Structure 1
Amino acid sequence: MTTSEPADRLEISSAAQFKALGHPLRHRLLFALGQEAATISQLAASLAVGKGNVAHHLGVLRDAGLVQLAETRQVRGGTEQYYRRAAKMFDFTGDGRRANTTVALQAVAAELEGSSGEPMLTLRNIRLTERQAEELMERLGELVDSLQDAGRDEARYGVIASVYRPRQ
């Protein structure tokens, strides 16, 4: 059994979706699924997490519509289930967006700790006009959105871009 391809974008706006994203491991599962389906065993191995833990958190993501069953395969007397993201990109909107940022950044920090090579991480505070900040956000969004997946034979990379205004 194989389901249709994931959507290009999914708007994350409901309380149920934000609640499902309330744990850093769920973000990491979404990172790991990237553009490619995987089994619970494959995800557990790549994230160094127990299969039961992965199964539980995948179930929460699936119930919220963020992960879907991609296909099933018959193997040695059993059935392998492959999961994938419901969309290639998620757009965060609404009241839960700010609350979710902390959990998402915890997941990114865990990914960075276990990453290979030297990640690029630049933090800069600079004074900008409102218009400059809007333009920067727009350009960064366009740059990230324009990236094309190079295929399953290439290494997976995480990309995070943010423009924010610190408290005064």
Structure 2
Amino acid sequence: MTDNPPDYELSDRMALSTAAQVKAIGHPLRTTILQLLHERAATVTELAAAVERPKSTVAHHVDVLTRNGLLRVVSTRKVRAIEERFYGRTARMFYVPAEPSPTGEEMPGDFNDFEVAARESATAFEQGKLWGFIRHARISEDRASEFWDRMAELVDEFDRMPRSGETVYGFAIGIYPTDHPTLPAAE
């Protein structure tokens, strides 16, 4: 597959290893900023225009993401004696690893991509434009892990797609244990 945007070098994946990183990525405006930077590097001014928020507000959120290692300055240019910074993501995909934090901190429990997806998808549902499936299967934990690896590849493919068209689509994917009933063993 051809490696498409963004227009700067970045890692494929980054584990969020501190509670501060998880909290930083959990804010809706910061998530939007990270999503925009999948397209290309951008200045605070460009990001503020895109999200229709004050430059000072966006600068604050960019600073939080930068302090937590999720963004970095990828290039600069001089504009009337002022150095303008272009920010980029440090990785295509951020994830919370299953193993405990190396610092021993307890990670926030409110980091739920499905909650964000449910909120974002409400309008699409009302307009009849929400495509989705939910399935349940009784499988081993090893099989669930293998399936997750395949889903992560699909997420990576989605992240690398060229940015085009007029509409930004959300893509939510996951696997989780449930308390659904199971049939007893066959006699």
Compute the TM-score of the two structures, normalised by the length of structure 1: 0.75
Alignment of 1:162 with 2:166, yes or no, is no
Give the direction of change, closer, same or farther, for the CA distance of 1:107–1:34 in structure 2 (3 Å limit).
Answer: farther
Aligned twin of 1:127: 137
Q: Do the aligned partners of residues 9 and 136 (structure 1) sit closer, same or farther apart at CA in structure 2, a change above 3 Å counting? A: closer
Displacement of 1:10 in angstroms is 1.2
Residues in 1 aligned to 2:134 and 2:59: alpha-carbon distance in whole angstroms:
39
Would you tell me which structure has more helix in proportion to its own residues? 1
What is the TM-score of this pair, normalised by structure 2? 0.69
Q: By how many angstroms is 1:161 displaced? A: 1.1
Question: In structure 1, the residue corresponding to 2:76 is in which secondary structure?
Answer: strand
- Shift in CA distance, 113/60, structure 1 to aligned 2, threshold 3 Å: farther
Q: Which runs of 5+ in 1 are unaligned?
A: none
| Percent identity between the two aligned chains | 34
| Aligned equivalent of 1:34 | 38
Tell me: CA distance 1:30–1:76, structure 2 relative to 1, closer, same or farther (3 Å): same
Secondary structure at the counterpart of residue 96 of structure 1: coil
1:35 and 1:84 in contact (8 A); partners too: no
Bigger Rg, which one: 2
Of stretches 23-32 and 138-147 in structure 1, the one that deviates more from structure 2 is 138-147
Per-residue CA distance 1:63-116 (angstroms, 9 max, x = gap): 000000111111234332111101122132145374311xx445545655788x
Aligned length: 161
Q: Would you say the 8 A contact 1:70–1:84 is kept in 2?
A: yes
Q: What are the ranges of 5 or more consecutive residues in structure 2 without an aligned counterpart? A: 1-7, 101-105, 181-187
Could you tell me how far apart the structure 1 residues matched to 2:69 and 2:91 are? 10
